[in-house]
Structure 1
Amino acid sequence: MLSPLTKLPTNAKVAVVGSGVAGLMFTYFLGKLRPDVTIHLIESQKRTGGWIKSLDTKDKNNEPVMLEQGPRTLRGVSDGTVLIVDTLKDLNQQSIVQCISANAEANRKFLLDPNDKLAQVPNSPATAIEFLCNPLGKGLITGFLGEPFRRPPSHPGQDESVSSFIKRRFGSDYIGNNILSAVFHGIYGDDIDNMSAKRTVRKLFDLETKYGSIMKGFYNSKSDPNEKHQLSQLLSDYQRAFNKDEAELKGLSTKLHKYPMLGLKGGLEMFPHLVRQSLNKLSNVNLISGEKVIKINQGKEQEGLSVQLSQGKSLTGLNHVRLTPTPARISPMIDNEQLAKEFAKIKANSILLVNFYLPKKDAIARKYHGFGYLCPKSSKNPQGLLGVIFDSVIERSFQPLFQNMDANQKSSSPEQYTKLTAMLGGHYLNHHSSETVPSQELTIRAVKDSLNTHLGISSQDLEDGMWAFTVAEKCLPRFSVGYDAWQASVEQELQKAYKGTVSVGGMGFAKGPGVPDVIADGLQDAIKLA
């Protein structure tokens, strides 16, 4: 949280709402730091893990297959990823950590161009020239060359949309519509015309504010070469709070920086699954599943907070409540009417996920082997596709991170197979006054059309494969213009209304929307409370 948090008294009672990774890891950190504190972890579903879901199922031949129906990889260059891997080491599960090297096939990325062809994102001089000759490369050279000479804004620090910010700095809509819009489809499922530059491209925004130009900022803010060998402030706090070996933590952080992506053998859901198993062994943690939080009520000061649950039960005498769902889901839980309205203002996008699996054949042309492709605003894209992830390429590119521990670790899946995940929906579902989710049949048909057109996968292969459909309903908060100001105001009002006894975390309040970001956020607040 941006606002300060008061340390918990001895033998305090805490409720944590939501058991996605934000809630699980906040509980894990606080439970370890303060064994005297009783923590009730409340989850409306029977399962934990939130939007991370690795589905173990059977294909058409009744053979086992794992389908990722949420996130599947982690950024290597991230403090939160260091926390994840170090937690797995503490749980003696480091052998499941897998990495993808910078020169692996899965580190190649593609964009869909206006001609429905895939263009590789440059990773060499040859691919850079090829990209510049593609319609997607229009405006890149003039945009970057002219950027240092463009005037800074008349009101520095004032928020604006991402598209407005990029157009100002690079002189046209081309870079935004051809490139950045695709990246935002992949991360947020949202439209750059509506998204906050201050929130979502914060580093670029801050460089302009400080130096008057992004390019000048990059040149003048080059990091100290020795900096990468030092622990960040977050990891230093973690090292002290948990009495970690500083050299070992530095070594792990340095090691992970070498890899653009990490994953877990068995799927990313292995992480929340193992954390839940660990929490089950902590005597001060109580998991309550299948119960919705109806309302958080304030009693008299000496009585503390109470949480009313859906099946008539209540938790009373609480010293602190941690809320990790999206802002709109938090809204009905708040007993302060004005504050509840503020939380309700932040809408969320739903993402449609379609998995395709074809055994015994690699239907992705070798020239397209990579992480997958994203669809920018400039592509035709009548299907409302956000992007496609090439799971089979990713899985074949995985290597064990700790080679000496399991040198022969390999995927149990057959070498020849095709596994894809298509992402649709997001802001494309919001063209009308209310969100409209198409049927499973229509969505899968749209994906078949896309895969046939973009990748040349034959109709026969598409018919022979296995399909799965899931809706991640209202999973991604919409970070609209002015979001940071809204967050600061809401947290301030939350502090006043509940006298510092309620805090918020999760995607809506962390520095970024990724799994590592919400875990880092949970650590910071757990340390403050401990």
Structure 2
Amino acid sequence: MAPDWKITVFEANDKTGGYIRSQPTKVADSSSTVFEKGPRTLRGVSEGTLILLDLVAKFGKQQSILGVHKEAAANKKYLLSPSKARQLVQVPDDFTSLRKFLTNSIGRSIPMALGKEFFTLRRGHGEETVEQFFNRHYGKGLSDNLISAIFHGVYAADAGKLSINAVMPSMVKLESKSASIGRYTVWKALFNSKKSQESAPPIKLSANLRKYQDLFSPKLNLLNMSEFLKSFPMTLLQGGLETLPQCIANNLPKNVEVVYNSKISSIKPLASGQVALTFEDGNTERFDHLRSTINTRALSSLIDSKPMKDVFSQVNYSSVSLANVYIPKKNILPVSGFGFLVPKASTDKAKLLGVIFDSDVEHSARPLFSLESVRKELTSKTVSTPDKLKQLAEDVFHSQPLNTRPYTKVTFMLGGHMYDGIKTFPKEHEIKKIVEDTFGSILHTPLSDYQLEVGLIENAIPQYNVGYLDLKAQAWKLADSEFHGALSFGGMTFADGVGVPDCVMSSFKDAVKLAHL
């Protein structure tokens, strides 16, 4: 973007990636498998995902890009029912699963909740939590049985604390139109039905993607790719998601240097408008601009500004325990899917947030660029029709899988907001017992001959609680006033979301702004 700028990345560890960590692990029935210790997939259609996949293609690694088709078994998702039977209930994707969902205790209240919402007459006042918003519109059942599970999976968070304005601004916008979300949605569908039948609008790139296209000459046709990925709600990389930061680190331009094992002791603004970084060995370096991607607790320990420290101290984080489980030579999962989440109504002393069925995802994944016809269309300068791209996606779905050997691999996620206030985190033997109990009582398959790795990510995910948007605005304002605009924030804390694509888009937009492009 600016080849005459000298850019230095200070990395505290001995490798790039941060929370993205894909660990090759020896297992009994194969030379190795990958245990994901953090994020593992990208959202199929998003601005950030498109940019990331284009970068991977530019680096000559497009054959490593995999996708899970929307019709694949791994796209099925489940919730843990609060009933005594502790059933896994599929989130509906057809009439049969809808009927089962609505007759189970987890979904029984939904028809009445939807009917109630249609007659909502009052809009909310002030900033609400996600739970307050949905309780007001739909009643407590929907929030406790469904909505809470979604935020256990995304933020490891309590829907009773998260700000609806921060995590679901589109819902607030819908409410502003007509108080009732359902009433406005039906009205809009009826009003627009005739218009949409007359002429379908042409596919267009967002302003951000147009800017990326103008600046970087993408290898992939972003219009075709965005339409193609509508059939693939999940994308991943062969060898694990850590392939992504490794690719970037191995293909940096000459004006970018990564300094590993960096130990910064202080960050100070200078009268010149620059920023001074002092290291543990006493050396100091000056820079025109500093972008911090570390969490605010770590950043707070490096600066002197009391107002900034006060703001940073109010940002909460959740800690998550992860348990990777591998069972060789057989699939012992009772259902096929991406995994299951635990809603508020089903939580217990185990503090389980959810379980990811990694082996199902890996068995369902297909190489997106293995077919010549697909490679041709996705790199062509000509815009293809949606029908053609949909057919190509079907062809990929029916192509040969990379992985056919039987095995079971899952990841347990525990804690999150349920760890708030605890004095000590669970030990490995305690997590092991939870894993074994879950397989016995929920998955109904006693464990034997299995491999287990347990880890803890402290202060992993920022919590966008009520008041977060004000804190975010204050942090940026203070960075501008106290650091003369020479400090900006990347990473998850002050982005538009906690996903990898969200962080990428936040950095892209700020880089464009900084370079005055």
Question: Counterparts of 2:218 and 2:176 in 1: how far apart (Å)?
Answer: 37
Secondary structure of the corresponding residue to residue 425 of structure 1: strand
Question: Counterparts of 1:380 and 1:489 in 2: how far apart (Å)?
Answer: 35
Q: Is the 8 A contact 1:66 1:267 kept in 2?
A: yes
Question: Counterparts of 1:111 and 1:61 in 2: how far apart (Å)?
Answer: 31
CA 1:213–1:285 in 2, change beyond 3 Å: closer, same or farther?
same
Is 1:314 aligned with 2:284? Answer: yes
Out of 368, 381, 386, which is 1:401 matched to?
368
Q: Is the 8 A contact 1:375 1:381 kept in 2?
A: no
Is 1:229 aligned with 2:203? Answer: yes
Is 1:337 aligned with 2:306? Answer: yes
Question: Counterparts of 1:340 and 1:416 in 2: how far apart (Å)?
Answer: 52
Task: Summarize deviations over 1:114-173 as a string: whole Å, max 9, x none.
Answer: 131100000001111110000001321111122131123353xx2111111100111x21
Q: Is the 8 A contact 1:98 1:263 kept in 2?
A: yes
Structure 2, unpaired ranges of 5+? 376-395
Letter in 2 for 1:232: S
Identify the residue that residue 523 of structure 1 maps to in structure 2.
508
Out of 392, 416, 419, which is 2:359 matched to?
392
Identify the residue that residue 29 of structure 1 maps to in structure 2.
none
Is 1:131 aligned with 2:98? Answer: no
Q: Is the 8 A contact 2:337 2:357 kept in 1?
A: yes
Identify the residue that residue 7 of structure 1 maps to in structure 2.
none
Task: Summarize deviations over 1:224-276 as a string: whole Å, max 9, x none.
Answer: 7855711011111111222448x922111111122111111111111111111
- Percent of pairs with identical residues: 33
Secondary structure of the corresponding residue to residue 510 of structure 2: helix
Q: Is the 8 A contact 2:462 2:492 kept in 1?
A: yes
Is 1:382 aligned with 2:349? Answer: yes
Out of 476, 483, 492, which is 1:498 matched to?
483
Out of 137, 156, 160, which is 1:169 matched to?
137
Out of 451, 462, 484, which is 2:439 matched to?
451
Secondary structure of the corresponding residue to residue 446 of structure 1: helix
Structure 1, unpaired ranges of 5+? 1-32
Is 1:94 aligned with 2:62? Answer: yes
CA 1:527–1:227 in 2, change beyond 3 Å: closer, same or farther?
farther
**Normalised TM-score (structure 1):** 0.87
Identify the residue that residue 262 of structure 1 maps to in structure 2.
235
1:143-154 to structure 2, matched below 5 A, reads 143-153=113-123
Task: Summarize deviations over 1:49-76 as a string: whole Å, max 9, x none.
Answer: 1111110011256831211111111111
Q: Is the 8 A contact 1:229 1:250 kept in 2?
A: yes
Identify the residue that residue 292 of structure 1 maps to in structure 2.
263
Q: Is the 8 A contact 2:79 2:149 kept in 1?
A: yes
Identify the residue that residue 35 of structure 2 maps to in structure 1.
67
Identify the residue that residue 254 of structure 2 maps to in structure 1.
283
Question: Counterparts of 1:272 and 1:220 in 2: how far apart (Å)?
Answer: 45
CA 1:198–1:228 in 2, change beyond 3 Å: closer, same or farther?
farther
| Consecutive aligned runs of 4 or more in structure 1 exceeding 6 Å deviation | 222-225, 406-409
Question: Counterparts of 1:154 and 1:124 in 2: how far apart (Å)?
Answer: 33
CA-based RMSD of the aligned residues comes to: 2.0
Identify the residue that residue 6 of structure 1 maps to in structure 2.
none
Shift of 1:428: 1.2
1:235-246 to structure 2, matched below 5 A, reads 235-244=209-218
Identify the residue that residue 23 of structure 1 maps to in structure 2.
none
Out of 275, 281, 305, which is 1:305 matched to?
275
Q: Is the 8 A contact 2:29 2:328 kept in 1?
A: no
Is 1:50 aligned with 2:24? Answer: no
- Report how many residues are paired: 482
CA 1:529–1:227 in 2, change beyond 3 Å: closer, same or farther?
farther
CA 1:311–1:445 in 2, change beyond 3 Å: closer, same or farther?
farther
Is 1:211 aligned with 2:178? Answer: yes
CA 1:162–1:466 in 2, change beyond 3 Å: closer, same or farther?
same
**Normalised TM-score (structure 2):** 0.89
Letter in 2 for 1:425: G
CA 1:217–1:517 in 2, change beyond 3 Å: closer, same or farther?
farther
CA 1:129–1:80 in 2, change beyond 3 Å: closer, same or farther?
same
